[in-house]
Structure 1
Amino acid sequence: MTDPRDPHSQRELRELLKIHVDKGALPGAVALIAHGDRVDVAAVGSLDAAGTTPMTRDSIFRIASLTKPLIAAATMLLVDDGRLAMDDPIDRWLPELAAPEVVRTSTGPIDDVVPAARPITVFDLLTFRAGYGFPADFTLPAVGLLFAELKQGPPEPQLVAPPDEWMATLARIPMLHQPGEAWLYNACADILGVLIARVAGRPLPDFLAEHLFAPLGMVDTGFAVPPADLDRFAGYYRRNPTGGLDLVDAPTGQWSSPPPFPSGAGGLVATVDDLYAFARLILGEGTVDGRRVLSPESVRLITTDHLTAAQREASRLFLDGQGWGFGGTVDIEPIDPWNVPGRYGWLGGTGTAAHVTPTTATTTILLTQVELTGPTPIPLMRDLWQLATTA
């Protein structure tokens, strides 16, 4: 709710969204700025490009890579329960990766490989340093296989093979780097999703629903939208070369039924209030019957930068010089006014962003339905973060 002592804050948030919607940057948006107990939310525009259905606070969006922090938190639930440890080799549960191979040089052919120098660990996956994933150069031969064979890239949940088949394919793809050597984007989150399911002995959607979403009250978060809620589900659009919007996925499309592969890298849908519930978990406020859902130590690890200076520099395309915790960036430099050291969060390629700043108890969330053209924030995201620093 908006603090009645500061009624202008929600009006400013609405006006900010309206500026970007009115100039045609996107059909609609939902945004949240929270400072401590004050929470301002605004919904502007439409669910669809035709403008037929108004955007509302409870509108549902494909959150894409905002799935990654949730998967990191789910992994830490298993760590808190003693079912996983940071230094555990993952081949106990993922035998497909018991003897991975690494390309001798990143630019070399995919059949010129050497054995991995050591096993992949849980910590390697959580920090995105297991050897699989995207570097700055997407043209490298080993990277091409991730797109062609594993359907890494923009989420297409109905087109990806089931987990066991997906893992078998992954095992035939060489790693780009030795475990622990380099930060690589995306693939580790999908591997974590399979790991969680196998450690828990149940499908990933069921584990998340029971152990993370239900305790936090995230009632609309999942890998598919139930038929009764499709009228709240936004379309998913991509801007074409002429500046118009092409429909990528309709509400009745790929997220209207459970996917063969529940992607830990980008498969979830959610609402702004569901993501705020998760943000409160990261801020240390997520409790059930007085008990914290995640231990303080797990939250600390999630929100701590684990990269070396060289790894941050090599990953500048994605991280812009900032650090990486588990599933999201951790700001370490005040490059812009909103880059408060310790700010944690990430962007979703379908047009979403969510960040928390523990030192100021601040949360910012933006949900749109227009695909990003790359890892760079859109102007509305930057404007939202700027507003949060002055509201």
Structure 2
Amino acid sequence: MTGRGLSIPAPFPPWGFRSRLRDCRVSRGEAAQRGLRRWTVRPGNGCRIPRIHSDVAFWFSGDASMQGNGRTWRWLWVVLALAGLLGVGGGEAIPRTAAGQELAKARPEDVGMSSQRLERLDAFLRRAVAEGRTAGAVTMVARRGKVVFSQAVGMMDREANRPMSLDAIFRICSMTKPVTSVAVMMLYEEGRLMLDDPVAKYIPEFGNAKVLAESSGTATENSPTVPAKRPITVRHLLNHTSGLTYQWNERLGPLYHKAGITHGLIQDEGTLAEKMKKLAALPLLHQPGEKYEYGLSIDVLGYLVEVVSGKTLDEFFRQRIFEPLGMNDTTFFPPKEKLDRLAAVYERSGPGTLRRMGDEPVVQGSFVYTADYPQRGPKRYFSGGGGLCSTVPDYMRFCLMLAGGGRYGNARLLSRKTVEVMTINQLGDLSVNGNQKFGLGFLVLADRARTNLNWSAGSFGWGGFYNTTFLIDPKEQLIVVSMTQLRPGHDCPISEFVPVLAAQAIAD
């Protein structure tokens, strides 16, 4: 890296800098070359700025009388020059980073919470493990930007006798969706797409959408269809009103399965581009914009991110979201050296009895899934709707960014106004499960009288297939992230009770 530089294209602003930045690499402790001459940057000139490297110090001088070794106040001028020049070139901005920044902690009482009441949450988690309702869990609570509760209970892998730890890695499945939604809105803020753009503008295969006729039962290749009344838009995908569904749907699931459409929870030989183009050829369940139907919409958005950004989804996530936020353990496929931290998935075999979920696929009609997808197969299908693995501390960073109006530490991913748009009702008169709303990537708590939660109206969050969950209350500045690994359909108290026990600890 020390032999290459970052070229900053012309033009430069006419006022420029009255000195020349030179591609001058100086080892630590050595004096820089003399004789750099005064120079004015004008339009048409090029400038080459060396890339940062841990073993190289950069030196800046305005005339022959100035010299240094990279440790003087002249660093300030290099930083200012970099900041100014990087804003001129028109290329992708390099985000500031929160990487390496520790999660801020506080005593509960310092942020208006009760330590004594938080003990109820700790006791509940331990009781859930003791009663065999889950093998283990990690939970973290933050208020006003500071973590006040973090606890790992039970076992990460009972068969290997590995206790649960705060850095345990979980299959977060549909908690991938908010990450993909943030990626889409980052591109929106860069002027690269609009919410009401037809998806076909970026993925032409969606330009001739058909809708399964209401008279049709289970769909086949020959089932009658009707033309879509309107194009599927980016907004339709973000709020799940596109007409796409999941493989468990009785009418379209068999057709999805036959076409080889995947959801990310099973190994697959294809790529996101291949599968989404196949999906585009299948009928929709309903007219775009007319009903809420949870499904593969966010997977399509994952492919849209690839098309618009020119990066694979895993590259975009890593470079634009995970590295800036310091989410070092979040990835689609954990590397081999981290697999011993991947929590095992369990299922209930009887009252108070758990058994480890096997590696063989679980078949529920047209819906087929496994627990071993993060460590098997070609590892090239990046599901924007369900493929990520993460840790509770990593996802707390993501939540703190959202709660901070798009910023965490020095890393700003979104503007406050964009986060506001993402977390308001985007369904109009439609609803989720008859009583709540959906924003652009999140469930939004709209009616407190029709939920078990003691959280404010406007709280938002989502969960994952293997019983992971997060919730953010902007009014109370409260965040909870909790993860376990329990096969769906088996009563798990974590997702429902943990937010309640976190909110009841508010004491101001």
Both proteins in one fold, TM over 0.5:
yes
Q: 245, 256, 259: which one pairs with 2:375? A: 256
Match of 2:122 in 1: 14
Match of 2:302 in 1: 193
2:172–2:464 CA contact under 8 A, matched in 1: yes
The one-letter code matched in structure 2 to 1:256 is: Q
Match of 2:407 in 1: 287
Residue 389 of structure 1 deviates from its aligned partner by 1.7
Cα 1:57–1:23, aligned 2, differ >3 Å: closer, same or farther? same
Q: Which structure has the higher relative contact order (CA within 8 Å, separation 6+)?
A: 1
Match of 1:98 in 2: 207
Residue 279 of structure 1 deviates from its aligned partner by 0.7
Q: How big is the alpha-carbon RMSD for the aligned residues of Structure 1 and Structure 2?
A: 2.6
Cα 1:289–1:65, aligned 2, differ >3 Å: closer, same or farther? closer
Match of 2:500 in 1: 386
1:303–1:330 CA contact under 8 A, matched in 2: yes
Match of 1:357 in 2: 473
Q: Secondary structure at the match of 1:158?
A: coil
Between 1:50-59 and 1:102-111, the stretch displaced more is 102-111
Cα 1:289–1:241, aligned 2, differ >3 Å: closer, same or farther? closer
Q: 354, 367, 377: which one pairs with 1:244? A: 354
Cα 1:173–1:30, aligned 2, differ >3 Å: closer, same or farther? same
Residue 124 of structure 1 deviates from its aligned partner by 1.1
Match of 2:250 in 1: 139
- Work out the CA distance in 1 between the residues paired with 2:108 and 2:464: 32
1:150–1:160 CA contact under 8 A, matched in 2: no
Cα 1:67–1:100, aligned 2, differ >3 Å: closer, same or farther? same
Match of 1:332 in 2: 446
The one-letter code matched in structure 1 to 2:173 is: A
Identical aligned residues as a percent? 32
1:157–1:261 CA contact under 8 A, matched in 2: no
Unaligned runs of 5+ in 2: 1-104, 361-369
**Quick check: which has more Rg, 1 or 2?**
2
Normalising by structure 1, we get a TM-score of 0.89
Match of 2:364 in 1: none
The one-letter code matched in structure 1 to 2:467 is: G
Between 1:44-53 and 1:239-248, the stretch displaced more is 239-248
Q: 114, 118, 132: which one pairs with 2:230? A: 118
Between 1:184-193 and 1:283-292, the stretch displaced more is 283-292
Query: Within 5 Å, which residues of 2 pair with 1:38-49?
Result: 38-49=147-158
- Work out the CA distance in 2 between the residues paired with 1:118 and 1:384: 41
Match of 1:127 in 2: 239
2:173–2:466 CA contact under 8 A, matched in 1: yes
Residue 85 of structure 1 deviates from its aligned partner by 0.7
Cα 1:239–1:151, aligned 2, differ >3 Å: closer, same or farther? farther
Q: 225, 234, 259: which one pairs with 1:149? A: 259
Residue 31 of structure 1 deviates from its aligned partner by 0.5
1:69–1:327 CA contact under 8 A, matched in 2: yes
The one-letter code matched in structure 2 to 1:20 is: A
- Work out the CA distance in 1 between the residues paired with 2:191 and 2:286: 29
- Work out the CA distance in 1 between the residues paired with 2:201 and 2:229: 17
Unaligned runs of 5+ in 1: none
- Work out the CA distance in 1 between the residues paired with 2:463 and 2:452: 17
Cα 1:295–1:270, aligned 2, differ >3 Å: closer, same or farther? same
Residue 151 of structure 1 deviates from its aligned partner by 4.6
Match of 2:460 in 1: 344
Match of 1:82 in 2: 191
Residue 164 of structure 1 deviates from its aligned partner by 2.6
- Work out the CA distance in 2 between the residues paired with 1:252 and 1:130: 28
Match of 1:26 in 2: 134
Residue 95 of structure 1 deviates from its aligned partner by 1.4
Q: Secondary structure at the match of 2:373?
A: coil
2:237–2:298 CA contact under 8 A, matched in 1: yes
The one-letter code matched in structure 2 to 1:340 is: S
Normalising by structure 2, we get a TM-score of 0.70
How many residue pairs end up in the alignment?
A: 380
1:237–1:249 CA contact under 8 A, matched in 2: no
Cα 1:75–1:201, aligned 2, differ >3 Å: closer, same or farther? same
Q: Deviations over 1:168-187 (max 9, x none)?
A: 32123101111111111121
- Work out the CA distance in 1 between the residues paired with 2:494 and 2:372: 27
Q: Deviations over 1:127-168 (max 9, x none)?
A: 111111149x9322x233234434556x43423621232123
Query: Within 5 Å, which residues of 2 pair with 1:316-331?
Result: 316=433, 321-331=435-445
- Work out the CA distance in 1 between the residues paired with 2:215 and 2:294: 15
- Work out the CA distance in 2 between the residues paired with 1:291 and 1:138: 40
Residue 9 of structure 1 deviates from its aligned partner by 5.4
- Work out the CA distance in 2 between the residues paired with 1:38 and 1:368: 19
Cα 1:151–1:378, aligned 2, differ >3 Å: closer, same or farther? farther
Q: Secondary structure at the match of 1:98?
A: helix
Q: Deviations over 1:85-127 (max 9, x none)?
A: 1111111221111111111216445420112122211111111
Between 1:101-110 and 1:333-342, the stretch displaced more is 101-110
Query: Within 5 Å, which residues of 2 pair with 1:28-67?
Result: 28-36=136-144, 37-50=146-159, 52-67=161-176
- Work out the CA distance in 2 between the residues paired with 1:291 and 1:261: 28
- Work out the CA distance in 1 between the residues paired with 2:231 and 2:453: 41
